[in-house]
Structure formats: C-alpha cells, structure tokens
C-alpha cells in the first residue's frame, strides 16, 4: 500500500498545531500564571508567619510581621500590656485621684448610632449622667476676696487649722464627712462658735458619686446633713453640699437642692490631699488664685501636716496681697 505523502508546508503546519496543544495541556495541569491554583500557591508562599514563627524571629529591632492571634483565641489576649525593653509588662497608668474632679468622659453624651447600625441593637449598659449646671465657684462678695474651704474633716488637724484662721481673722467653710462629724462633735461645735460655716460632704465620701443609685445618693446627702447638724447642736445653717471628687450631676444637684443646699465647687485645687510637699501647695495657690476665688484644701482624710504648714505661709501672703476672707456665694 502506498502512503500518501503530505506536502512539506502542510506538514509543518500540523506539527506546530500539535506542539501548541501539548503546551496548553501542560499549562492547565501545572497552573498558568493568574489561574486560581497559581494564585493560591502565591498566597501560601507570602502568608504571614504564625505566632510561634515570629516569636523566634530576630529581635534586633529589624522589621517583622506582627503575629496574628490564633483563630478562636480569646480576644482579651490582645489587650495584654505591651512588654518593655526589659521584657516586663508596661505598668498600667495610675488611677485617677480619689479627690480629682470627674473626667470629661462622664459628662459627654453617648454617641448616637450611625446610619449603618443594626435596628433594634441594644444600647450601652451605662450612659453619662447629665452634668450639673448650678455649681457655685465664687465668693459671696466678689472683688478682692477669697473663700477658704476645707474638706473631709473634722480630723486631727482641724484644731490647728482653726488656730491659724483665728490668728489672721480668717473665716472658712468646712465641708464635713457625716461619720467624722459624729466622731468629733466638739470640733464641729468649735467651728460654728468661731464664726465659720458648715457644708455637707456626704456620709462617707463614696466615689464615684454618680455611680450610686438614686436612693444611695439621697441617703448620703440627707444623712450627712443630719449627722453634722446633730454634732453641731442647736440649729446650724448648712447652706452647701459638695460632691466627693467634685462629681456633681444634674441628679445629685437636684437632691442637694431638695434638702435646701446648693452645690459648692472650687477654682483652686493645690491637691494637698496627695501631700505633694508644702512648697508645691503654696506655689499652686499663689499661682492660681484670682479675686473671688474658692480654694479647696483638706483638714481631714489623712495626714494633713503639709496642709497646715502651707496654710502658715498662705494666710499672711493673702493678707499682704490685699485679700479679704469671705464665704462662698449662696
């Protein structure tokens, strides 16, 4: 049988087509660039190392990929304190002062839900209380006057504070803890007898005040007033109340008003409760006092020797500056 001969030009064309078909098949089997399987291989090669891999990586300050938490790992793990250069966790920031004014966060209205929020989603468990609007922070007479106020007493230092005030003919307002007034009635009576004024500073200085239930806030303000009045004897006038830490809200301001008292704030706080040093207390008051100002200091709640020593310098300085001692506005 005679085989038909294929002309050379046609044979070359057929061989080229076969080669092309073979290459395509090979590319399909191995994964051509841009195909799903090739993309998966590339992703696998560039995937971030696991937590165990990065933990054993270089620590010379070079760049590295942050380890990602293992799927299903408790999210709280990522909130752990970051280690310092020595390897120990960075200490948490110190808590705010027990006497410091409330932070702005407590008087900020909660954020409103965005347009993309889920309808019917539950609101946050807590919300910022409405701030008070009638807190007094000025003297009664104005002009070049100053109102001295002392918190958390009566205490062991109150007698010495009274001695100094008498020496300079100064009058002051004592914001008293109900429990302390019950424990030191003779001191409360001396305060009144020497022409000073009394202020309700709650039964036992709860903080934060706004976190107490309404009934608890009522009891703290009402019962302290009754304790101070009993300790003083007679019928002393208690014109003001002061929230622990200055934590005034519209709610507790209203409670104080219901018991015939106004909310008393301050304009100068030398943080003497923290015992920063006598000169620090003196310098703070001298730097920040303005005519008509209300100065916050402490005669109770701890060691007040620094406050007494600072007062020994501040009283003659105030007199030399032409200040007249006054009570807060009422």
Q: Which residues are catalytic?
A: 151, 298
What does each C-alpha distance from 23 to 9, 18, 27, 93, 267 come to in angstroms? 22, 9, 6, 66, 86
Model pTM above 0.75: no
Half-sphere exposure of 169 (CA within 13 A, CB side): 4
Q: Where are the domains of the chain?
A: 145-325
In this prediction, residue 40 carries a pLDDT of: 33
- Classify residue 87 as left (phi > 0), alpha (psi -120 to 50) or beta: left
Q: Which residue has the tokens 């207390």?
A: 281
| Contact between residue 261 and residue 239 where contact means Cβ atoms under 8 Å apart | yes
In this prediction, residue 45 carries a pLDDT of: 31
On average, the pLDDT of the chain sits at: 74
Token pair of 285 as six digits? 């008051």
| Burial class of 42 by CB neighbour count within 10 A (0 to 12, 13 to 18, 19+) | exposed
| Contact between residue 231 and residue 200 where contact means Cβ atoms under 8 Å apart | no
| Burial letters 318-329, b for 16+ CB under 10 A, else e | beeeebbbbbbb
DSSP state of 244: G
Ranges of the chain with pLDDT below 50: 1-125
| Closest to 244 (Cα-Cα) out of 223, 222, 274, 217 | 217
- Classify residue 61 as left (phi > 0), alpha (psi -120 to 50) or beta: left
In this prediction, residue 241 carries a pLDDT of: 98
Is the alpha carbon torsion for 69, 74, 77, 79 positive or negative? positive
Cβ neighbours of residue 21 under 8 Å, at least 6 residues apart?
Answer: none
In this prediction, residue 234 carries a pLDDT of: 86
Instruction: Report the distance separating Cα 44 and Cα 194, nearest Å.
Output: 84
In this prediction, residue 301 carries a pLDDT of: 96
**What's CA 50's distance to the chain center, in Å?**
37
> Interhelix angle for 214-232 vs 185-193, to 10°?
70
Look at the domain 145-325 and name its fold. Answer: TIM Barrel (3.20.20)
Half-sphere exposure of 321 (CA within 13 A, CB side): 19
In this prediction, residue 47 carries a pLDDT of: 34
Per DSSP (E only), the strands in the chain are: 145-153, 172-176, 197-200, 238-241, 262-263, 293-298, 324-325
In this prediction, residue 29 carries a pLDDT of: 38
In this prediction, residue 88 carries a pLDDT of: 38
Task: For 175-240, give the DSSP string.
Answer: EE-HHHHHH-HHHHHHHHHTT-EEEE--SS--SSGGGS-HHHHHHHHHHHHHHHHHHH-S---EEE
Task: Tell me if residue 158 falls in helix, strand or coil.
Answer: helix
Cβ neighbours of residue 30 under 8 Å, at least 6 residues apart?
Answer: none
Q: Which residue has the tokens 């705010």?
A: 96
């Amino acid at each position: 049988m005679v085989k038909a001969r294929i002309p050379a030009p046609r044979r070359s064309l057929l061989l080229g087509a076969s080669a092309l078909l073979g290459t395509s098949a090979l590319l399909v089997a191995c994964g051509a660039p841009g195909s799903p399987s090739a993309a998966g291989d590339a992703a696998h090669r560039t995937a971030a190392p696991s937590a165990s891999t990065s933990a054993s990586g270089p620590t010379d300050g070079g760049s590295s990929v942050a380890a990602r938490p293992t799927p299903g790992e408790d999210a709280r793990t990522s909130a752990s304190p970051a280690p310092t250069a020595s390897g120990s966790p960075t200490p948490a920031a110190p808590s705010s002062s027990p006497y410091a004014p409330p932070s702005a966060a407590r008087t900020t209205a909660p954020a409103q839900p965005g347009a993309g929020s889920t309808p019917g989603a539950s609101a946050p468990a807590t919300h910022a209380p409405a701030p008070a609007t009638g807190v007094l922070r000025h003297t009664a007479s104005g002009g070049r006057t100053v109102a001295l106020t002392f918190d958390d007493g009566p205490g062991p230092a109150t007698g010495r504070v009274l001695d100094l005030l008498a020496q300079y003919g100064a009058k002051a307002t004592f914001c008293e803890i109900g429990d302390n007034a019950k424990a030191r009635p003779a001191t409360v009576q001396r305060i009144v007898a020497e022409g000073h004024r009394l202020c309700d500073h709650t039964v036992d200085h709860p903080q934060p005040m706004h976190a107490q239930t309404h009934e608890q806030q009522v009891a703290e303000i009402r019962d302290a007033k009754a304790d101070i009045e009993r300790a003083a004897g007679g019928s002393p006038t208690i014109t003001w109340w002061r929230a622990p830490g200055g934590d005034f809200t519209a709610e507790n301001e209203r409670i104080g008003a219901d018991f015939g008292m106004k909310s008393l704030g301050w304009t100068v706080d030398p943080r003497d409760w923290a015992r920063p040093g006598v000169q620090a207390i003196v310098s703070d008051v001298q730097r920040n006092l303005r005519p008509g100002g209300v100065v916050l200091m402490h005669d109770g709640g701890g060691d007040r020797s620094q406050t007494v020593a600072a007062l020994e310098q501040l009283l003659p300085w105030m007199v030399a500056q032409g200040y007249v001692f006054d009570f807060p506005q009422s």
